[in-house]
Homo-oligomer: A and B are copies of this chain.
Amino acid sequence: MIRIFVTGGTFDKEYNELTGSLFFKDTHLPEMLRLGRSRVEVSIATLMMIDSLEMTDADRALIVERCRQAVETRILITHGTDTMVETAGALAAPISGKTIVLTGAMIPYAFGSSDGLFNLGSALSFVQVLPAGVYIAMNGRCFTWDRVRKNREAGTFEAI
């Protein structure tokens, strides 16, 4: 059983046709898993629905706490890409014995041409087989939390 914690991020942004702006409604995770014909047993909980640039220390403390309390030893977190590395870092010290993989998207799933479904398939696979540790799964690759940064100009994650 994989635990999935939803925190928002580009993954789950939608277009509000009345205001012309982007916003959060419900997570698309269940729909995406259905589209991928996933048969992995998962339990999904939405912790927050926010842009990761707006994530506070209190938000991160909540994520850490929920990961610590989880009975599952394999956890996938959907997260905005801008501060994904920071949250991964916050998880590394307090959690041990669990495999935690963070992933996100550059393009909202609700729009065409999203990388979200690819990333979800990737993260869900890495989380099933990697040893305990905190990882970021983006661009088809997997990085340990302390060996990665987001290249904001390229919009990709790269090893450091």
Binding site for B on A (CB under 8 A): 10, 13, 15, 17-18, 20, 22, 32-33, 35-40, 51, 106-108, 110-115, 117-126, 128-130, 137-142, 152-153, 155-158
B140 touches A108 (CB 8 A): no
A36 touches B137 (CB 8 A): no
A17 touches B121 (CB 8 A): no
B39 touches A141 (CB 8 A): yes
**In this complex, what residue of B is CB-closest to A39?**
B139
* List of B residues within 8 angstroms of A108 by Cβ: 15, 111
* List of B residues within 8 angstroms of A106 by Cβ: 17, 37
Question: Of B15, B35, B115, B140, which one neighbours A124 at CB under 8 angstroms?
Answer: B140
Q: A13-B20, A17-B107, A40-B141 are in contact. List 8 more A-B contacts (CB 8 A).
A: A35-B115, A36-B139, A39-B158, A108-B111, A110-B113, A122-B124, A125-B125, A125-B142
Query: Known contacts being A120-B121, A121-B121, A137-B125, is A112 close to B115, with CB within 8 Å?
Result: no
**In this complex, what residue of B is CB-closest to A18?**
B155
A37 touches B124 (CB 8 A): no
